Structure formats: structure tokens, C-alpha cells
Amino acid sequence: MIELDDIGMTFTRSGKHFDALDGVSFRVEKGGFTSIVGPSGCGKTTLLKVIARLARPTRGELRIGGRAVATPGRDRAVVFQNFALLPWADVLTNAAFGLEARGVGRAEREEIARRHLARVGLTGFERHFPHQLSGGMQQRVGIARALAVEPDILLMDEPFGSLDALTRKVMQEDLAALWDAEADRTAVMVTHSMDEAVLLSDSVVLMNTRPGRVEDVVVVPFDRPRTAEVVRSAEYRDFAGYLWERLEQMHREDLARTVPT
């Protein structure tokens, strides 16, 4: 279980203090998939970095499995929006990079990397280089690289945000199918897409801005797997619409606070 307790993050710029996060508290159950959504600038990516411990909060506590966490760990892996692949390395080397950093021998790490590349549909592309791949294929390499280190927690920052609409839909469906087979792994994903959040998540954290804070944590009321029949249902559309309305209302309230009267 991931627990965030009263997380705050204050930055200082040109002598002025800026609260990026304030009083953020929620929990993610072990094996759960949680999405974080909210307006631009509400601190979603900063919060993900706090969980990865790539950023240290000004106040508050992060607990994983009941224990306070202050440093990055092997239990967490991150998938970035911009793929973050090594351009001079082939697909196999990229997928095995995290294992290499952990000192795993070449034969073993390549075997593990091949297995995870197969899981994301990239068998046969092991010796290709990133520039020879489409955006969707590059992101599959990033996911394979993250899964290859067998993390307990997968953290994803807008993993499909830079893809075209069709590729994004395929990748969403592929990740959903992959996740349904992952019984004990936990995921936290930052996304701007409410439809993506509803398709993939067990719960959705709604954040607001100025400062970044949690307005609500909403449980997604649909069983897994999310079949085509479920996704096409009126109940599914109504729920996604309800979350969009909540987000739009927060955005309107934020604009009202910033427009001079």
C-alpha cells in the first residue's frame, strides 16, 4: 500500500515562495491502479516524483507497506511521457538498461528483457534503434524496461500523452490487458485524459490547483476486465461524463479566483 500523508511542496523562485502541493493525502491499495487527474499546474507530475522519491517534499510523509520512505528504491519504476530511451542503444539494450544498472549479467538481463519485450508485442525488434520505431513502439520499450526490473510499483507520467489518437487507444487497451494479468503489482498514473483514467483505473484522484491539492478520490465502479460491452454502456459513459464535469467545474472555479473583479 502507498500512503501519502499531508504532502506539501514549496518552491522558492526569485525570493518568492510558491506552494506546488499542499496537504495532499490519499492511499493506493496494493495491487490497485490509481490515476491522478487535474488541471495543468496542479502538481500531478511533482506528486508522482514524490512517490518515486525523485523529489523530496517540503513536509508530510510517504509510506509504502507501512514504512516511511525517503529515497528512491528498487520497488518503484517510472515510465516517462517522452520515452527517455537511449538513442544510441538498440531496443534490447534499452529494455535491459535497468537490469544492467542493478548489476545483472548480460545473458540474464537480455533473457529477461526479451521476455518483457514479448509481453508488449516487440518480439523481432530487439536490434532496432529508437529512431527506427514509431512513437507507440518506443513507449512499449519504455514499459518493457520498467516491467523488466519487476517493480512492486509502476509509476507512469502521461505515458501516452505524445501519441496520436489511434496509437494511444491501442496502447491503452494493451496496458489494460497487461494489467489485468498483473495480480499483485500497483500502479499510479498521471493523465489528462478522463477516459483513459476510467478505462485503466480502480480509483481516480481529482486534484485542483493553486496550490495543488486533492479534491476527491473517486472509486471506479466497474469490474475488470473492462470489456467492450462495459465501455460502450450508458453507465460507463455517464461515469466518465460525471468526472469530466467535476474537472471542468474545478477549472471554472480556478479561473474565477484568478480573474480580477
pTM score, whole prediction: 0.88
In this prediction, residue 120 carries a pLDDT of 86
Evaluate if residue 213 carries a pLDDT over 60. Answer: yes
Residue type for 248, please?
Answer: E
Domain boundaries along the sequence of the chain: 1-72+191-245
In this prediction, residue 160 carries a pLDDT of 82
Residue 20 to residues 56, 125, 189, 255, 259: CA-CA distances in angstroms?
12, 41, 18, 17, 20
Kindly indicate the confidence band of residue 259, based on its pLDDT and cuts at 50, 70 and 90.
low
Residue 98 to residues 9, 128, 132: CA-CA distances in angstroms?
29, 18, 22
Q: How far is CA 73 from the centre of its chain?
A: 17
The cell for 133 is 520505431
Kindly indicate the confidence band of residue 15, based on its pLDDT and cuts at 50, 70 and 90.
confident
Q: Check: CATH 3.40.50.300 for 1-72+191-245?
A: yes
What are the tens digits of pLDDT across the range 112-163? 999 999 988 899 999 999 999 988 889 889 989 998 998 899 999 988 877 7
What are the tens digits of pLDDT across the range 90-112? 999 999 999 998 999 999 999 99
